[in-house]
């Protein structure tokens, strides 16, 4: 069982940066065997893909809307995955969720919400002047 806890959200002005963290909670299994993804849900009904990293981080994917601004990274020793967000704008306002999906090969990546088994509770990011 994987339990995930996000942190790092908040209210920032356009152009600012934030770093989100997603930690496997104490007692949870290691995330090193899992693809880790970040998703977000704004005012609309859909939860959209933001970024994902394979088990060892050898394969990384980003949504086109965040390429060049966001960076996903993972520290398996700390059981934590990060999302560094730079040059934030109002369209980035959303609840951000991390998710985990068991994978058996490094290099495997998932980008769809229905592929992930485990989700955190979400952290709110608001970009406003």
Q: What is the pLDDT of residues 21-43, one digit of tens each?
A: 999 887 778 899 999 999 999 98
Separation of alpha carbons 127 and 118, rounded Å: 27
Percent of the chain with pLDDT over 70: 100
Mean pLDDT confidence for 43-71: 96
In sign, the C-alpha dihedral spanning 38, 23, 99, 129 is negative
Q: What is the pLDDT of residues 60-113, one digit of tens each?
A: 999 999 999 999 999 999 999 999 999 999 999 999 999 999 999 888 999 999
Does residue 48 contact residue 41 with C-beta atoms inside 8 Å? yes
């Amino acid at each position: 069982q994987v339990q995930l806890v996000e942190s790092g959200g908040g209210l920032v002005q356009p152009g600012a940066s934030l770093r989100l963290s997603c930690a496997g909670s104490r007692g949870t299994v290691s995330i090193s065997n899992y693809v880790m993804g970040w998703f977000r849900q704004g005012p609309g009904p859909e939860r959209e893909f933001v970024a994902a990293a394979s088990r060892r981080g050898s394969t990384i994917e980003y949504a086109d809307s965040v390429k060049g601004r966001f960076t996903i990274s993972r520290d398996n020793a700390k059981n934590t995955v990060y999302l560094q967000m730079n040059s934030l704008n109002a369209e980035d306002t959303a609840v951000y969720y991390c998710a985990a999906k068991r994978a058996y090969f490094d290099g495997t990546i998932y980008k769809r919400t229905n592929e992930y088994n485990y989700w955190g509770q979400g952290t709110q990011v608001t970009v406003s002047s």
